[in-house]
């Protein structure tokens, strides 16, 4: 059963990043949609819209980074590592 534990940890880590990336990808796509529409309507505001878009993208990406941090914690700093023998 030891291998099953390790396999489950690896699966959990992979799915953590996967699902977080899914949500972040959809969110950032929506943001980009709004930014492109804004620039298309008002090409003069390109600088302000681009800055706002970059800022919003970084904030949305941080949600995906939370998933990555959980994956790293599971793989490298597992709090149950002692009980599992890792």
Interacting residues toward other proteins by CB under 8 A? 54-55, 58-59, 61-62, 65-66, 68-69, 72
- CB nearer to other proteins: give 8 or 55: 55
Residue 17 to residues 7, 11, 13, 42, 83: CA-CA distances in angstroms?
A: 16, 10, 7, 37, 25
- CB nearer to other proteins: give 37 or 54: 54
In angstroms, what is the minimal distance from the CB of 1 to other proteins?
26
Q: Let me know: does 81 contact 37? Beta carbons within 8 Å.
A: no
- CB nearer to other proteins: give 39 or 69: 69
CA distance 54 to 41: 19
């Amino acid at each position: 059963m030891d291998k099953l534990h390790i396999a489950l940890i690896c699966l959990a880590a992979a799915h953590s990043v996967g699902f977080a990336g899914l949500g972040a990808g959809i969110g950032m796509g929506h943001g980009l949609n709004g930014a492109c529409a804004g620039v298309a309507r008002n090409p003069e505001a390109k600088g302000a819209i681009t800055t706002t878009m970059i800022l919003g993208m970084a904030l949305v990406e941080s949600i995906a980074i939370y998933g990555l941090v959980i994956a790293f914690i599971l793989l490298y700093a597992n709090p149950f590592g002692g009980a599992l023998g890792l």
